[in-house]
Amino acid sequence: MARERIYLDYNASAPLRFEARAALLAALELGGNPSSVHAEGRHLRSLIEASRDEVALLVNARPADVVFTSGATEANVCVLSQDWDTIFISPVEHDSVLAPARIRAKTAGSHLIELPVDGNGLIDVAALATVIAAGKRPLGRALIAVQFANNETGVIQPVAEIAHLARQHGVACHTDAVQAAGRLAVDFAALGVDTLALSAHKLGGPKGVGALVVRDGFKLAPLITGGGQERRRRAGTENVAAIAGFGAAARAALAGLTGTARIADLLANLERAVVEITPNAVIFGGGAPRLCNTSCIGIKGSQSEILVIKLDLAGLAVSAGSACSSGKVAVSHVLTAMGAEPDAARGAIRVSLGPHTSAAEIDTFLSAWRTIHELKPEVRQRASGHFETSERAAQAALAMGDK
């Protein structure tokens, strides 16, 4: 009988919620075009607008401020690709923010200012104020892009403070709230940002749909032109089924915020036990406010890819804290920016919990963690059965990834 797997990689993608699946499948059965004025088109339009209401409620925005996109990457690129003279970013941002900012600087001559972060990955608001005030040239049309919560460490940035500072200096503010939405209360109105990016599949909706929330009156040129959809802010016939699923997931995620304390307790128990089992473990960002569900754990002398594969073979899904490109393992740019010790960063994994994670699943993770880290090399060589097979399979899988 196949072993039941345990999913602890919600930050990569949350499993599709039942409510989202039902809404998506129901919408797939419908014909017509949401821009048509006949009954079929009007019905599809009503589904889109109902979903817009749900997404707006999730982040306390006006429905009219919500622009549906293909995902948060598109939303981020749309904002970062505007005609900015100056862009402030931190080095811990997601690549969908970093890449378009750097392209804008290279191809259009925008002044790109990278803001340092401390050992927990936090932006120093006072230091940011100094950087803005000490500029040696006019800022022009300027933007600060700041991630609400980091996808690797879960560290929560002081977005409201940064947005307030930005307004004082006439600078626009964008936040990538992909990991925050559905895991903590997000209040677009209170934050004071101009734009905010969301992704459906991070909170249990379908993949391939997201939203850009735009403050009323904020001028933003569309990234995709050629039609009047989304109030001329994003051309193209809407993906009605995915949007319907997004709306249902947003409604469920908002209702589920009452369960975050339970998830936080599970994460605290996990981290406490990990440090007991492996005293050389490092919890990255452990000294800062973090999401209730996210732990980035570094083990000196380990390789994150090997740890991920061993846990995978034990039936557990987690993510590596480093990226593999062209057969070369590179330490996470987030951990590097935080000044993490390279040896610990190379052994970093991310464990991210969800609303269905149970205490029993955490116990299973800890049992596997103990098995992986407590066996001595000489014991490992003599061991037979699953562990020895897992070790060989892990090494072989890593070798295949290097080709």
Indicate the domain borders of the chain. 6-12+258-401, 18-255
Task: Determine the pLDDT at residue 133.
Answer: 85
Task: Determine the pLDDT at residue 35.
Answer: 95
Judged by DSSP in three states, 69 sits in: strand
CATH topology of domain 18-255: Aspartate Aminotransferase; domain 2 (3.40.640)
CATH topology of domain 6-12+258-401: Aspartate Aminotransferase, domain 1 (3.90.1150)
- CA separation for the pair 293, 261 (Å, rounded): 10
Q: Which of these is catalytic: 173, 292, 296, 324?
A: 324
Residue 173 is a catalytic residue? no
CA angle 8, 56, 213 (to 5 degrees): 90
Range list of H helices, 59-174: 72-80, 95-108, 125-133, 159-168
**Sheet hosting strand 319-320, strand order edge to edge:** 281-283, 294-299, 348-352, 319-320
Task: Determine the pLDDT at residue 402.
Answer: 39
Q: What are phi and psi of 383, to 5 degrees?
A: -65, 145
CA angle 80, 81, 82 (to 5 degrees): 95
Report the chain (403 residues): mean pLDDT per 10 consecutive residues.
83 97 97 95 97 98 98 98 96 97 96 95 94 81 97 97 96 98 97 98 98 97 94 95 98 97 98 96 97 96 94 96 50 94 94 97 98 62 40 47 39
DSSP symbols for 92-104: TS-HHHHHHHHHH
Residue found by looking up tokens 């589904």 in the block: 47
Give this prediction's pTM: 0.90
Amino acid residing at 42: R
Task: Determine the pLDDT at residue 3.
Answer: 65
Task: Determine the pLDDT at residue 376.
Answer: 44
